[in-house]
């Protein structure tokens, strides 16, 4: 059996391991204690979840040692030689950067790339710009070692340049057995907003007051209370607020995960956030959406208000949204799921296990939408990319992505232009004209190139953990004849 080292560069985890802390010690009392404090700390949360997930694996007989260090010396380097696999949990603080840089240089010198996996944290290209790492060190991280990431927002330079990489999409998580609510969604009566600290531009705090004003002025929502939470607050306090929250409204322009959001979902809160919040746009050429099945999306504040009003009219729909909120987090981010992901990674079992169907033009060849859904479910297909005629868009799909909650199918849009029969780039919707643009800034683009399609599908494969793409006969012929694309180029 492999001998595995789980390495932390974090003072919090060092203290926890020195005190021989147990999984069950991270309970409600802990998250309300002075030890945890009232400053949001997503890094410590994800490290705790990894610790708990690894402890679960150890009960299955895995030979894993968890160690926290605050410096690299010969003793540590000698220790590394005793393990078959080393998983590095670097974090975004000065000391961790120093240790990580020294470790990368050691790995390069000894050519131990296959032995090391680096965790999800650190915005590598931002730190490169600050001079903390070199181009050669990032090349080692991204292309020679294995690198875990969640969403591609901070990896855009890799995909913009179509650089080879060894990235694996890997979720961070939370304790869904701890973060849960016994209170039914229909018994809660608050609409909650959680503001970010001042200066966090992408969080869009300014939009909060605008939305609150519209809620207060709506006679159809005056039976609901509005709760605005501002920092500082303790994690346990926010969880308590969620117990009486029916809706959490998020205004952020960009996220990679968000404990504020996913804690709410774990409590069964119906979450609403901007449609673009989890988009990964690569140099204006194409976009892949992370977590499209998560939450209720809105484009405008008026659309947001209308969606809440519609849910208030239909309590069964409200209950279904609440169910899907928690179900999504349990299936994707629970300790049990993160532990399963680590087990797959350690044992060499594939993390990418899903199938994606690429459909040309429309559903007509299946006779009806229900027949198509039966085909998808019978063949255990997780998602569908629809390559459509620009002038004949199906009304079911009015965004980059759409999740059919009843049937559990993800739909994603890639636009096909009937004039000349050429494939086009992934696009954005123009709210004013209701016409589809070719690119995010509205420019008409040249004929789609082979590398555009391959790059898009490779990123889609990573983000949505696709093991296999399936094309129908017409689209398969178009790929081969027009672009000389064989799916093996994407699968490999």
For the whole prediction, is pTM greater than 0.85? yes
Provide DSSP, 22-78. Answer: -GGGSSHHHHTSTTT-SS--HHHHHHHHHHHHHHHHHTTT-EEEEEE-SS--HHHHH
- Domain assignments of the chain as residue spans, ordered by start: 3-169, 185-333, 352-491
- CATH level 3 topology of 185-333: Rossmann fold (3.40.50)
Rounded CA-CA distance 169/119 in Å is 11
DSSP 409: E
Provide DSSP, 112-157. Answer: -GGGEEE-S---HHHHHHHTSS-HHHHHIIIIISEEEESSSGGGHH
| Residues near 424 by beta carbon (within 8 Å), at least 6 away in sequence | 390, 414, 415, 416, 417, 438, 445, 448
Backbone angles phi, psi at 186, to 5 degrees: -75, -10
Indicate the class that CATH gives domain 3-169. Answer: alpha beta
Identify whether the C-beta of residue 154 lies closer than 8 Å to the C-beta of residue 138.
no
SS3 content of the chain, % helix, strand, coil (to 5): 40, 20, 40
Rounded CA-CA distance 276/401 in Å is 10
For residues 267-306, one letter each, b for 16 or more C-beta atoms within 10 angstroms of the residue's C-beta and e for the rest, the string is bbbbbbbbbbbbbbbbeebbbbbbbbbbbbbbeebeebbe
Choose among 5, 142, 150: nearest CA to 68. 5
Choose among 437, 368, 417: nearest CA to 396. 368
Residue with tokens 């560069």: 9
Number of H helices, E strands in the chain: 18, 19
Q: What is the pLDDT of residue 397?
A: 53
Sign of the CA dihedral running 179, 291, 440, 397 = negative
Rounded CA-CA distance 374/489 in Å is 29
Q: Residue 359 has which token pair?
A: 């459909």
Rounded CA-CA distance 74/372 in Å is 61
Provide DSSP, 316-360. Answer: HHHHHHHHHHHHHHHHHHBHHHHHHHHHHHHHT--S--EEEEEEE
Rounded CA-CA distance 91/123 in Å is 10
Query: Tens place of pLDDT for every residue, the chain, 492 residues?
Result: 899 999 999 999 999 999 999 999 999 999 999 989 887 688 999 999 999 999 999 999 999 999 999 999 888 998 898 999 999 999 999 999 999 999 999 999 999 999 999 999 999 999 999 999 999 999 999 999 999 999 999 998 998 887 889 999 999 999 999 999 999 999 999 999 999 888 787 788 999 999 999 999 999 999 999 999 999 999 999 999 999 999 999 999 999 999 999 999 999 999 999 988 998 888 766 778 899 999 999 989 999 999 999 999 999 999 999 999 999 999 999 999 999 999 999 999 999 999 999 887 666 677 777 888 888 889 999 998 877 544 333 445 556 778 888 888 888 877 544 334 444 444 444 444 443 444 444 454 455 667 777 888 889 999 999 999 988 777 777 777 766 777 777 766
DSSP 92: S
Burial, 487: exposed, middle or buried (Cβ in 10 Å; 0-12, 13-18, 19+)? middle
Sign of the CA dihedral running 443, 445, 451, 452 = positive
Rounded CA-CA distance 436/399 in Å is 10
Q: What is the pLDDT of residue 145?
A: 97
Identify whether the C-beta of residue 140 lies closer than 8 Å to the C-beta of residue 108.
yes
Burial, 218: exposed, middle or buried (Cβ in 10 Å; 0-12, 13-18, 19+)? middle
Choose among 175, 212, 179: nearest CA to 195. 212
């Amino acid at each position: 059996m492999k001998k595995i080292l789980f390495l932390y560069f974090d003072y919090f985890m060092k203290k926890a391991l020195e005190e021989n802390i147990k999984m069950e010690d991270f309970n409600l009392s802990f998250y309300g204690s002075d030890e945890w404090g009232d400053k949001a700390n997503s890094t410590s949360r994800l490290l705790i979840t990894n610790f708990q997930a690894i402890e679960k694996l150890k009960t299955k007989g895995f030979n894993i040692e968890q160690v926290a260090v605050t410096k690299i010396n010969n003793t540590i380097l000698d220790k590394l030689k005793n393990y078959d696999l080393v998983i590095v949990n670097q974090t975004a603080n000065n000391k961790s950067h120093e240790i990580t840089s020294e470790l990368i240089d050691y790995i390069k010198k000894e050519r131990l790339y296959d032995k090391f996996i680096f965790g999800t944290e650190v915005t590598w290209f931002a730190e490169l710009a600050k001079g903390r790492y070199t181009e050669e060190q990032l090349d080692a991280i991204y292309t020679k070692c294995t690198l875990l990431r969640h969403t591609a927002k901070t990896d855009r330079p890799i995909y913009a340049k179509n650089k080879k990489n060894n990235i694996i999409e890997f979720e961070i998580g939370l304790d869904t057995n701890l973060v849960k609510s016994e209170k039914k969604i229909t018994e809660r009566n608050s609409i909650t907003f959680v503001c970010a600290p001042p200066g966090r531009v992408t969080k869009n705090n300014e939009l909060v007051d605008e939305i609150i004003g519209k809620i207060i002025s709506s006679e159809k929502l005056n039976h609901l209370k509005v709760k605005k939470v501002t920092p500082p607050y303790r994690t346990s306090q926010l969880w308590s607020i969620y117990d009486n929250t029916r809706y959490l409204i998020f205004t952020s322009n960009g996220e990679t995960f968000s404990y504020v959001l996913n804690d709410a979902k774990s409590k069964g809160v119906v979450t609403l956030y901007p449609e673009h919040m989890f988009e990964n746009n690569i140099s204006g050429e194409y976009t892949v959406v992370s977590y499209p099945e998560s939450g209720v999306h809105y484009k405008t504040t008026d659309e947001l208000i209308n969606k809440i009003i519609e849910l208030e009219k239909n309590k069964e729909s409200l209950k279904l949204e609440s169910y899907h909120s928690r179900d999504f987090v349990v299936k994707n981010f629970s300790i049990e799921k993160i532990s399963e992901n680590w087990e797959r990674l350690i044992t060499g079992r594939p993390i990418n296990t899903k199938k994606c169907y690429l459909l040309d033009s429309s559903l007509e060849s299946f006779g009806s939408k229900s027949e198509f859904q039966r085909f998808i479910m019978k063949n255990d297909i997780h998602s569908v990319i629809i390559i459509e005629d620009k002038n004949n868009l199906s009304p079911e799909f009015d965004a980059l992505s759409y999740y059919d909650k009843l049937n559990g199918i993800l739909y994603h849009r890639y636009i096909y232009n009937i004039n000349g029969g050429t494939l086009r780039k992934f696009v954005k919707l123009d709210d004013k004209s209701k016409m589809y643009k070719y690119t995010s800034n509205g420019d008409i683009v040249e004929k789609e190139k082979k590398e555009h399609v391959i790059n898009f599908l490779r990123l889609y494969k990573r983000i949505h953990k696709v093991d296999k793409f399936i094309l129908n006969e017409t689209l398969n012929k178009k790929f081969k004849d027009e672009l000389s694309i064989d799916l093996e180029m994407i699968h490999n």
